Structure formats: structure tokens, C-alpha cells
């Protein structure tokens, strides 16, 4: 696990905690801040997983991290439930750590 992936996991879990604990209109401001950090660090994670390629799952999840961050930003405008807005970010950041294919 790279340091960038660890940062992405911490940010995604912090966003999940905010989605569970903060009220509906105020939570989207926090999710926006978490999404900006997740987008920037996720882009760096793509580069870290691409050269050299560690695993295809890690590379795909790193490539989907900025997309999940964009989904968190759009969720406020689309009036999506905050927990559902954060779920893709949590899944794509934790999947390479939880699932380790046999090599």
C-alpha cells in the first residue's frame, strides 16, 4: 500500500463519518472539501500505481478515485443522500487493500 492510497483511505473514511454525523445542508460543504483532496491525491495515486504496475485492481481503483470524488461534488447539486454519495469513494479506496488476489 502506497502512502497516497493511505491518504485516500483516510479521506474517504472521514467523508463517510461526516456524511453520517453532519446534517444534510452542511455536509455537502465538507464533502466538497474531501472531494478536492481525494481528487488531487487520487491523481497522484494513478501515477504511483501505473509506474511500475503493481496490480491491475489497484490501478483501476486509482483511476476511479477522481471519478468518485467528482460524484461526491455532484451529489450536493443532485440532492443525493450523503452516505450514497460517499459510498463509491469508500469502495474504490478500500478495494485494493481488502481484496488481494493470489499471484
Q: With cut-offs at 50, 70 and 90, classify the pLDDT of residue 8.
A: very high
Read off the pLDDT of residues 34-79 as tens digits, 9 standing for 90 and up.
999 999 999 999 988 888 877 888 899 999 999 999 999 998 888 8
> Which pLDDT score, from 0 to 100, does residue 1 have?
66
Residue 101 has pLDDT above 70, yes or no: no
Write the CB contacts of 40 (distance below 8 Å, at least 6 apart in sequence): none
SS3 68: helix
Confidence band, pLDDT 50/70/90 cuts, at residue 88: very high
Amino acid at each position: 500500500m502506497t502512502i497516497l492510497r493511505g491518504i485516500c483511505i483516510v479521506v474517504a473514511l472521514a467523508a463517510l463519518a461526516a456524511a453520517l454525523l453532519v446534517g444534510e445542508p452542511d455536509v455537502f460543504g465538507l464533502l466538497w472539501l474531501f472531494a478536492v483532496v481525494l481528487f488531487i491525491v487520487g491523481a497522484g495515486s494513478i501515477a504511483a500505481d501505473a509506474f511500475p504496475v503493481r496490480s491491475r485492481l489497484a490501478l483501476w481503483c486509482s483511476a476511479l478515485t477522481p471519478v468518485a470524488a467528482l460524484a461526491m461534488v455532484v451529489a450536493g447539486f443532485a440532492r443525493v443522500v450523503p452516505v450514497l454519495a460517499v459510498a463509491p469513494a469508500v469502495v474504490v479506496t478500500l478495494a485494493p487493500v481488502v481484496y488481494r488476489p493470489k499471484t
